[in-house]
Amino acid sequence: MVGILIVAHGTLGESLIHCASHVMGSRPLQLMQLGVTVHDNPEAILPQALKLVKQLDQGDGVLVLSDICGGTPCNIACRLRVPDHVEVVAGVSLPMLIRALTYRNEPLATVVAKAVSGGIEGVMHLTVSDPQRNVATGR
């Protein structure tokens, strides 16, 4: 089973794990998070991140999900990357996390692809097809 580590700003990772636990019915195994605050020194957090990756790795690899590409959490996550063993995907969202959790018994490359597709397919522009249903405008 592929381990999953979320490295994100503040409590975003905790919130995503809480939501994923709700959707999936229980807290998924081998899922952890590392919250990074404005007061954290990236060099001081890196050893903690490496320790979490080692805890999550049971031989099938680890997927590290980060929030904003180029942000401090993503920069830390990129330093964890070991090609074909620890992979990093930026832009974490609940659809991305659920997709990764659903396919985590597949090879790491498949989990990465499914996470990315979950993120992409989870973004939709919704329009109102029945005007009577739009309670915000009353139209």
Rounded to the nearest angstrom, the gap between the alpha carbon of residue 47 and the centroid of all alpha carbons in its chain is: 20
Closest CA to 75 of 16, 10, 11, 7: 7
Question: Is residue 63's pLDDT more than 70?
Answer: yes
Please give the DSSP secondary-structure letter assigned to residue 50: H
Closest CA to 57 of 86, 28, 35, 33: 86
Delimit the domains of the chain by residue range. 3-133
Please state the pTM of the whole predicted model: 0.91
Could you tell me if 82 and 53 are in contact, meaning their C-beta atoms sit under 8 angstroms apart?
no
Please give the DSSP secondary-structure letter assigned to residue 66: E
The CATH code of the domain at 3-133 is: 3.40.50.510
Interval 71-85: pLDDT, tens: 999 999 999 999 999
Q: How many CB atoms lie within 10 A of CB 14?
A: 13
